Chain A
Amino acid sequence: MIQFLQQLGATTVNRVAAVGRAGQLLSQSLIAKPAPMMMLPLLVRQLYFIGVLSLVIIIVSGLFIGMVLGLQGYTILVDYGSEQAVGQMVALSLVRELAPVVTALLFAGRAGSAVTAEIGLMKATEQLASYEMIGVDPMRRIIAPRLWAGFISMPLLSMIFAIVGIWGGSLVAVDWLGIFSGSFWANMQASVSFSEDVLNGVIKSLVFGFVIIWIAVFQGNDCVPTSEGISQATTRTVVYSSLAILGLDFILTAMMFGDF
Chain B
Amino acid sequence: MRIRALEISVGALILAGMLAMVALAINVSGLNLSQKSGGYSVYARFDNIGGLTERAKVSMSGVQIGQVTAIRIDRKRLMAEVEMQIFDDVDYLSIDSSAQILTAGLLGEKYIGITPGFEDDLLENGMTIEDTQSALVLEEIVGKFLFNKVSE
Contact = CB atoms under 8 A, between A and B. Distances in A.
A189 interface: yes
Interface string B28-51: 111100000000000000000000
Interface string A37-65: 00001001101100110010000000000
A41 B20 CA distance: 25
Interface stretch (B2-10, B81-89, B138-146): B2-10
Contacts of B21: 159, 198, 202
A52 B20 contact: no
A157 B17 contact: yes
B122 interface: no
A217 to B, nearest CB: 19
Contact of B24 (A47, A81, A162): A162
Contact of A82 (B12, B14, B28, B105): B105
A155 B17 contact: yes
Given A82-B105, A82-B107, A163-B23, A95 B28 contact: yes
A192 interface: yes
B16 interface: yes
A159 B9 contact: no
Q: Considering residues B17, B18, B23, B105, which has the most beta carbons from chain A within 10 angstroms of its beta carbon?
A: B17
B30 A189 contact: yes
Contacts of B3: 41
Interface residues of A, number: 33
B28 A198 contact: yes
Contacts of B7: 44, 48
B29 A198 contact: yes
A152 to B, nearest CB: 8
Interface of B: 3, 6-7, 9-10, 12-14, 16-18, 20-21, 23-25, 27-31, 105-107
8 contacts: A82-B107, A95-B28, A156-B13, A156-B18, A162-B24, A166-B28, A185-B27, A198-B29
Given A47-B14, A153-B13, 16 more contacts: A45-B6, A47-B13, A48-B7, A55-B16, A95-B24, A153-B17, A155-B17, A157-B17, A159-B21, A162-B24, A162-B28, A163-B23, A163-B28, A188-B30, A189-B27, A198-B21
